[in-house]
Chains A and B, each alone.
Chain A
Amino acid sequence: MKIIVLVKQVPDSTEIRVDKVTGTLIRAGVPSIINPDDLAGVEEALKIKEATGAHVTVISMGPPQASGMLKELYGRGVDECILITDRAFAGADTCATSSTLAAAIEKVGYDLIIGGRQAIDGDTAQVGPQTAERLDIPQVTYVDKIMEVNDKSVTVRKSLEDTEEIIEAKLPCLLTTLSGMNTPRYMNCNDIVDSFSKEVKIMTFADLDIPAEKVGLAGSPTKVHHTFTKDVTAETETYDMPAADAAKLIAKTLKEKQIITK
């Protein structure tokens, strides 16, 4: 069985701060991490590999420096890492990203594809379903447990708002996974040593059968009109008074607003 895991390198959003003057993100010094939902997917793929001897390929689209992150995944035990990188892919929205990823996936071949539910930089959760659509294969999103895998199908648990569903999907199919479904393993010594000799395979625009108008900015129907940081609009008043007076004023206000009734 061939498993492909889609992995994105993202800035660690717990470290991100916004420049209040310019309204832009301060990226300098912010560490890059593997998107948490994707790391959960890598772990699931490695578990399936252990159980069935499946071959695990990780694919990422991003700038050349993402290859460092991919190399680390060799240390966790994946078989092959591919970085899709080309200037032509810059500025891709989810529509263009999914077209590009699907073109690469077609080249590699697959039985099961695992992506993260969403990437913490954009939080769109669209690339998974859109990649499945491009490949014309079924999908199950919001998977929090992979229960069974055989040559023909997978059985998974999907987490919805108020329910969980046990779902069987025919292969080939695409799953999107939730971080927290497992604890990703650390790199192990043997694999780390092996990883030194393993290369990240690079694919560029020329390696994919895809028209130029489907990728990058040209292939992206959504455009960023503008960005901004939170503007303060509420009428605010801050009081510094003894606790007893504060309690009285709150109760009085709530009474006036008829929030406190009988």
Chain B
Amino acid sequence: MAKFEGYKDIYVFVEQRNGEIANVGYELISEARKLVASIPQMGFQVVGVLLGHNVTDKANDVIAHGADKVIVADHELLEGYSTQFYADTLTQIIETYKPDSFLTGATVLGRDLAPRVAARLNAGLTADATKIEIDQEKVADGEALLLVTRPTFGGNLFGTIVCPDTRPQMATIRPNVFSMDPVDTTRTGEVVAFTPDFKDTDAKVVVKEVIAKVVEGIDITKCDILVGAGRGAEDCLDMVEAVAEELGGAMCASRAVVDDGFASKDIQVGQTGKTVRPSLYIACGISGACQHVAGMEKSDMIIAINRDPQAEIFSIANMGFIGDVKEILPLLKEEIIAAKKA
């Protein structure tokens, strides 16, 4: 007999704001598909959970992105995000459907909501994870134990966390670490409407005003080509920009460059900056500290230029060049122009 009778499937919270679904929900659905495929004997499904108001029509998008089933709670109190009403609804959904595991994006919203729900259910919750696997040895016993890995101590150490005794196994997962499968509009799936039952409809917290943050420049998490500037490239940031521009990409920076005041925090990559996964990342004068690497190691191809042969960045770069960025970058720009013409 299964250890946790009645608990099954991998559930993914599909975060939306103003009817717009955040990519992380789809990234987690894509990853959940891989997980269920690794344990065919369990017969698990991937279930999306969508909360909001007038969002039911979005359920088909969730299915097209890989869900077998979508549970939709469409209610006027769920119009904008509210910790109170979202936590009430999610707890009721979990108690009703008994997911074996429940994944949420580690966004500001996800990190506000998931802990609250986990505490109410006394379920284990692993925070801000970057990798999920299933313990194949336990599958024979009818158990789909998640092995959830996360960086700790500022990215210096990784811990793999398990919740062997409670269900659902909950985790928040960092956006942009899993890739999103292509959309398949021919997929079909089940849409289940869930009506939440609010004991208390009096809102304890009210959002009075929403102010857009002024974003200067472009969103580096959406760029396919990034040229990263480190402290070693501080004297030639114009060349870093020029190479990025020639490649049709953008410049990003290490924290050192941001701290030194040469770049805005918006383009900082790393543990305390943004996580990026472009097709190409050229690291210029970046030492390769673990906190920086944590934000860019998933890039498809990494090229590093550093004058110190011992630099850590060389251990993760696909191609490393020992040399001076001030010499290489101007020449590289010319070579790119030439290669385009050829």
A residues touching B (Cβ–Cβ < 8 Å)?
Answer: 11, 13-14, 16-18, 23-25, 93-95, 98, 120-130, 132-134, 137-142, 155, 158-170, 173, 220-230, 232, 234-241, 243-244, 246-255, 257, 259-262
Q: Which of B151, B205, B213 has the most CB of A within 10 A?
A: B205
A-facing mask of B296-313, CB < 8 A → 1, else 0?
A: 010001110100010000
Find B336's partner among A23, A249, A260 (CB 8 Å cutoff): A260
Which of B151, B297, B318, B319 gathers most chain A CB within 10 Å? B319
B158 touches A236 (CB 8 A): no
- Known interface pairs A130-B118, A138-B84, A227-B159. Does A247 touch B335 (Cβ–Cβ under 8 Å)? yes
Which of B122, B290, B309, B335 makes the CB contact (< 8 A) with A95? B122
Contact A262 B116 (CB under 8 A): no
- Given A163-B210, A165-B211, A244-B331, A13 contacting B108 (CB threshold 8 A): no
Pairwise interchain contact A121-B319, C-beta atoms closer than 8 A = no
Are the C-beta atoms of A17 and B162 separated by less than 8 Å?
A: no
Q: Is the CB of B128 within 8 A of A123?
A: yes
Asked if residues B152 and A247 are in contact (CB atoms below 8 Å), the reply is: no
Q: Are B305 and A246 in contact (CB under 8 A)?
A: yes
Residue contact A95 to B125, C-beta cutoff 8 Å:
yes
B26 touches A (CB below 8 Å): no
- Complex contacts, B1 vs chain A, CB 8 Å: none
What's the Cα separation between A226 and B317 when bound, in Å?
A: 27
| B164, closest chain A residue (CB) | A223
Type the 1/0 row for B109-151, where 1 means its CB is closer than 8 Å to any CB of A: 1011011101110111111100000000000000000010011
6 tightest A-B contacts by CB? A221-B124, A251-B335, A247-B331, A124-B127, A238-B320, A138-B204
Q: Contact partner of B160 among A94, A170, A225, A230, CB < 8 A?
A: A225
* B interface, CB within 8 angstroms of A: 83-84, 87, 107-109, 111-112, 114-116, 118-120, 122-128, 147, 150-154, 156-166, 204-213, 215, 225, 247, 279-280, 282, 290, 293, 297, 301-303, 305, 309, 314-324, 327-328, 331-332, 334-336, 338-340, 342
Establish whether residues B314 and A250, one from each chain, have CB atoms under 8 Å apart when the complex forms. no
Contact pick for B211, options A120, A163, A222, A260, CB 8 Å: A163
- Complex: chain B residue closest to A164, CB-CB: B211
What are some 15 contacts across the A-B interface (CB < 8 A)?
A: A14-B154, A23-B157, A125-B115, A126-B114, A130-B116, A130-B118, A138-B84, A138-B204, A141-B112, A160-B108, A221-B165, A227-B158, A237-B318, A246-B332, A250-B321
Q: In the docked arrangement, what's the CA distance between A262 and B119, Å?
A: 55
Whole-angstrom distance between the alpha carbons of A74 and B114 in the complex?
35
In the bound assembly, the distance between CA atoms of A122 and B302 in angstroms comes to: 29
Partner of A121, one of B83, B152, B331, B334: B152
Residues of chain B within 8 A of A132, CB atoms compared: 116
Chain A CB within 10 A, most for which of B247, B334, B339? B339
Q: Which residues of A contact B87 (CB under 8 A)?
A: 133
Contact A168 B206 (CB under 8 A): yes
Main secondary structure of the interface of A (DSSP, over half): mixed
A125 to B152, CA, bound (A): 12
Of all chain B residues, the one with the shortest Cβ separation from A117 is: B111
**The residue from B150, B159, B207 contacting A167, defined by CB atoms under 8 A apart:** B207
Which of B165, B302, B328 lies in contact with A246, CB distance below 8 A?
B328
Contacts of B161 in A (CB 8 A): 222-225
Question: Is B116's CB under 8 angstroms from A123's CB?
Answer: no
Q: B162 to A225, Cβ gap below 8 A?
A: yes
- A167 and B320 CA atoms in complex are apart in Å by 49
**In the bound complex, do residue A94 and residue B125 qualify as a contact, i.e. CB atoms below 8 Å apart?**
yes
CB distance from A155 to the nearest CB of B (A): 7
Q: Which of A224, A244, A246, A254 contacts B247 (CB 8 A)?
A: A254
Shortest CB distance B253–A (Å):
18
- Establish whether residues B323 and A122, one from each chain, have CB atoms under 8 Å apart when the complex forms: no
Residue A230 contacts which of B83, B279, B293, B332 (CB distance < 8 angstroms)? B293
Shortest beta-carbon distance from A159 to chain B in Å: 8
In contact, B317 and A236 (Cβ under 8 angstroms): yes
